[in-house]
C-alpha cells in the first residue's frame, strides 16, 4: 500500500488497519457493480468480511502492516493473489483506519484516585459492546504544592476586580529540574464559573484582561470561545493575564504561549468550569528552588487576572493550579497541584460594610464625577 505522504510517525510495524470499501475499484467496477468474486477480493484487501446471512454487514479482521525499508510512505499487508484482481481507488484516494491504538485528549478528568481500572476495546454495534481488554488505567492523586491561595481584592459579590493566584512549588519536587529540557505547562482550572454568558452566579469567573469605562461593558469570555493548544500564542497571554510575578531574582519565566478552553460542565456536580493555560519554553519554566536577593529561597509565584467574584466563603476551594511537563516521558502526569482557596468571605451589596468604599456626590448620569481644576477652594 502506498500513501500520499510519509507515515513514519503514524504507523509502526504490527499496527492493524482496515480499508474503506467504497473507494475501492475492482477491474474498474464500483462497489454496486461488483461480482461476487469482486466483493470477496475487495473484502480480503480491506481486512473485513461479510456476514453470510447478511451481506450488508461486515466484521473486522484487520490487516497487520509491515513498514517498507527505504520507503516512508509504503507498507505491506499479509494478503495476495496469483493474478492481479485489478484494484484501484477512486481518484487515487483510498480511506483507511487504524484499530489497535486509541488516542484520548491530553487530560482525563476524574473525581478521585483509583488504580487498576480496566480499559476495554468496544464498538457501537446495536448498542455498546465490549470485546477484549486493552489495558489498565491508574488515576493518581498528584503531589501537593507548598501552598496555593486566591487573593480577592473585593468583598462585594458580583464585582469584577483583579484576583491574585499565589502559589509555591515544593522544594523537594525535583521533576521541575528534570523537565528543563522540554516545554512545561501551568493550568489554572476555575472550578465554578457559573452558567450564564456574563454574570452567571459562579464563584469565580475569569474575564479578559482589558480596560472598560464606567458605562462600558465587561469583556466577558464567551462560554464557547476558546483558543486551542495548536493555536496557542504569546498574544493570548496578554488577553488573559494582568501581571506575573515571582520572588526569584530571574523573575517569572516568560511565557512562550497561552491558550484557554470553552466552558465545560462536571457531570457529577453540574457545576461549570473553565481552564486557562500557560506554556513555557525549554529551560524557561517554573522552578522548585529559587534565589531571592542573592539568597536561596523557596519559590513563590503570583498570577493576576480579572474575574467576577461570586458568593465565596473564606477557605472555599475556587481553583486548581497544575504543572506538567509536555515533552517528558510521563507528559500525562501532573508534577504538582495546588488547591487554591479564597482568602476572604464576600458579601452582598445590601450587607456590605459602608467602610469598604466611598460614595461620590454630584455624579452625572454615567456615575462619573467631573472635577473642575479652576474652581476656587472654599477651605481656609
Select from 273, 278, 109 the least CA-distant residue to 205: 273
Q: Hunting for cell 512545561 — which residue is that?
A: 184
Mean pLDDT of the chain: 88
Q: 205: which strand partners? A: 308
Q: What is the pLDDT of residue 352?
A: 63
Mean pLDDT value across residues 43-50? 92
Q: 129: which strand partners? A: 123
What's the residue count for the chain? 380
298/290 Cα distance (integer angstroms):
6
Inter-CA distances, 243 with 54, 236, 238, 303, 318, Å:
65, 13, 9, 6, 20
Q: What is the pLDDT of residue 360?
A: 72
Between 51 and 152, the higher pLDDT residue: 152
Share of the chain above pLDDT 90, in %: 59
20/43 Cα distance (integer angstroms):
9
Select from 229, 220, 182 the least CA-distant residue to 327: 182
Least confident of 53-57, 130-134, 299-303, 313-317: 53-57
Q: What is the pLDDT of residue 122?
A: 80
Give the tens place of pLDDT for each residue, 185-195: 999 999 999 87
Torsion, Cα 58 60 64 68, to 10 degrees, reads: 40
Q: Regarding beta strands 128-139 and 243-246, do their DSSP bridges make them parallel or antiparallel, or are they unpaired?
A: unpaired
Under a CB-based contact definition with an 8 Å cutoff, are residues 24 and 68 in contact? no
Angle (CA) 259-262-268 rounded to 5° is: 125
Give the tens place of pLDDT for each residue, 165-174: 999 999 988 8
Mean pLDDT value across residues 126-146? 87
Give the tens place of pLDDT for each residue, 196-252: 655 567 899 999 998 776 767 888 888 899 999 989 999 999 999 999 999 999 999
Torsion, Cα 280 257 105 269, to 10 degrees, reads: 100
Give the tens place of pLDDT for each residue, 255-268: 999 999 999 988 77
34: pLDDT strictly greater than 70: yes
| 359: Cβ contacts below 8 Å, ≥ 6 apart | none
For the record, the C-alpha cell of 250 comes out as 530571574
11: pLDDT strictly greater than 50: yes
Q: What is the pLDDT of residue 380?
A: 40
Q: What is the pLDDT of residue 379?
A: 45
Give the tens place of pLDDT for each residue, 270-312: 789 999 999 999 889 999 999 999 999 999 999 999 999 999 9
Share of the chain above pLDDT 70, in %: 93
Q: What is the pLDDT of residue 129?
A: 81
Give the tens place of pLDDT for each residue, 298-350: 999 999 999 999 999 999 999 999 999 988 877 778 899 999 999 999 998 77
91/309 Cα distance (integer angstroms):
57
The string over 248-266, giving b where at least 16 C-beta atoms fall within 10 Å of a residue's C-beta and e elsewhere, is beeebbebbbbbbbebeee
DSSP category for residue 354: G
Inter-CA distances, 241 with 199, 202, 302, Å:
20, 20, 11
Amino acid at each position: 500500500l502506498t500513501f500520499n505522504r510519509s507515515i513514519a510517525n503514524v504507523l509502526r510495524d504490527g499496527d492493524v488497519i482496515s480499508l474503506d470499501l467504497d473507494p475501492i475499484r475492482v477491474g474498474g467496477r464500483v462497489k454496486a457493480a461488483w461480482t461476487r468474486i469482486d466483493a470477496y477480493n475487495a473484502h480480503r484487501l480491506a481486512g473485513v468480511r461479510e456476514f453470510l446471512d447478511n451481506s450488508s454487514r461486515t466484521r473486522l479482521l484487520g490487516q497487520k502492516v509491515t513498514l517498507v525499508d527505504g520507503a516512508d510512505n509504503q507498507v505491506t499487508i499479509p494478503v495476495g493473489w496469483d493474478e492481479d484482481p485489478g484494484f484501484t481507488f477512486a481518484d487515487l484516494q483510498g480511506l483507511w483506519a487504524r484499530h489497535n491504538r486509541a488516542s484520548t485528549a491530553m487530560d482525563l478528568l476524574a473525581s478521585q484516585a483509583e488504580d487498576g481500572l480496566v480499559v476495554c476495546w468496544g464498538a457501537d454495534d446495536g448498542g455498546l459492546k465490549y470485546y477484549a481488554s486493552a489495558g489498565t488505567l491508574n488515576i493518581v492523586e498528584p503531589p501537593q504544592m507548598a501552598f496555593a491561595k486566591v487573593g480577592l481584592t473585593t468583598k462585594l459579590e458580583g464585582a469584577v476586580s483583579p484576583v491574585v493566584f499565589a502559589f509555591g512549588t515544593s522544594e523537594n519536587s525535583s521533576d521541575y529540574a528534570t523537565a528543563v529540557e522540554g516545554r512545561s505547562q501551568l493550568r489554572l482550572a476555575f472550578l465554578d464559573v457559573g452558567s450564564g454568558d456574563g454574570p452567571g452566579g459562579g464563584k469565580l469567573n475569569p474575564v479578559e484582561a482589558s480596560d472598560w469605562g464606567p458605562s462600558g461593558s465587561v469583556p466577558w469570555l464567551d462560554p464557547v470561545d476558546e483558543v486551542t493548544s495548536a493555536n496557542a500564542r504569546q498574544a493570548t497571554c496578554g488577553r488573559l493575564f494582568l501581571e506575573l510575578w515571582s520572588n526569584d531574582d530571574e523573575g517569572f519565566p516568560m511565557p512562550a504561549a497561552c491558550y484557554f478552553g470553552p466552558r465545560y460542565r462536571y457531570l457529577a456536580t453540574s457545576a461549570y468550569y473553565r481552564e486557562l493555560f500557560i506554556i513555557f519554553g525549554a529551560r524557561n519554566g517554573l522552578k522548585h528552588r529559587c534565589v531571592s536577593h542573592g539568597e536561596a529561597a523557596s519559590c513563590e509565584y503570583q498570577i493576576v487576572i480579572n474575574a467576577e467574584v461570586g458568593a465565596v466563603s473564606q477557605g472555599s476551594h475556587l481553583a486548581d493550579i497544575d504543572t506538567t511537563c509536555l515533552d517528558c516521558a510521563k507528559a500525562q502526569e501532573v508534577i504538582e497541584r495546588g488547591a487554591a482557596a479564597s482568602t476572604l468571605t464576600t458579601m452582598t451589596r445590601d450587607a456590605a460594610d459602608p467602610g469598604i468604599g466611598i460614595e461620590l456626590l454630584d455624579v452625572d448620569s454615567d456615575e462619573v464625577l467631573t472635577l473642575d481644576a479652576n474652581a476656587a477652594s472654599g477651605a481656609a
